[in-house]
Amino acid sequence: MSSRQRSSAFTLIELLVVIAIIALLIGILLPALGQARDSARTLKCLSNQRQFVLGFHMYADDFADATVPAKMPKLPGGISNPANMYDVGNGLKFRPNWVAVMGPYVGLYPFAQPSTESGRQDYYADVYMCPSAPEWVDERNHAYGYNYQFLGNSRLRANGRYRNWPLKRSNIYAPARTVMAADALGTAAGIAELNRTPYENDGTTVTGVGNHAHTLDPPRLTPESDMGAGASTPNARTGVDVRHAGRANAVFIDGHAESMTLEALGYRLETDRSFTLFGGGANPPTNALFSGDGTDRDPPRR
């Protein structure tokens, strides 16, 4: 081997230095790439939610200013009653949830083939999926929750009347300060963080993240108010999910969407990181961004 050939070769030390520099650069770049990916997911989620609020308003335009309910009413007869079937754009669906009801207005159908026999189907279009929780596609255990208690609770009272529906859109006096929907945690919000269990598609486990998450309870409940999974399940409250770098995305009635901390939205946590249920203390939860008029009103009574 000539001296010129020998001088052009890398020494072991030089090679190790190059490897160390490459590893250092990767270590510097990976967090930035991760942050960029998370930011892209957050923006896509915010875009999804803005589509929902457009659907909310187009639904109200078509139905005499009525707001969409969290789930279409449960009328006698179940699947044998045609009145329990609703058009979701590409066919009839048995008692669809709020997201599916707005399907024709969002521009993408929620189901590949809507069912007239089941209230538990998976959404299939991207706009119905949060990119940070892509597996949460069950229409009941969904990634996005609706401010149903103040905007449209179609569960029946003992006297046969709906709990808070139909509601006129014109009765929402502070649209820029009223959450329509947000990233939702489901009934796991009422459970100590260490006791929460993984997401179950088609599941009904109260401790499971995402369980009954299509309903979003406001921050402050009362012993007389409804709860996400229904009053028959004690303390099964729902709440927001801070899945975007410690924040939850929320869309407001006026159409703007934000990434906000749960505290900014009005929620409070106990020492075990379960969501405060009723309130009290020096810094109680507040419903000011949920009530529709900008005040800390109680949710409607059951």
List per-residue pLDDT tens for the chain, 302 residues long. Answer: 455 555 566 687 777 777 888 877 777 766 655 566 778 899 999 999 999 999 999 999 999 999 999 999 988 999 999 999 999 999 999 999 999 998 778 778 999 999 999 889 999 888 999 999 999 999 999 999 999 999 999 998 878 889 999 999 999 999 999 999 999 999 999 999 999 999 999 999 999 999 999 999 999 999 999 998 886 677 789 999 999 999 999 999 999 999 999 999 999 999 999 999 998 778 999 999 999 999 999 999 88
Q: Which of 21, 46, 56 is nearest to 247 (CA)?
A: 46
What are the residues facing 85 on neighbouring strands? 94
Predicted local confidence at residue 212, as pLDDT = 96
Q: Which two tokens stand for residue 237?
A: 């409250």
**pLDDT, position 7:** 54
pTM for the full model?
0.87
* Bridge partners (DSSP) listed for residue 250: 182, 258
Degrees to nearest 5, angle at CA 210 with 98 and 35: 100
CB 70 within 8 A of CB 95: no
- The CA-CA-CA angle for residues 242, 171, 84, to 5°, reads 75
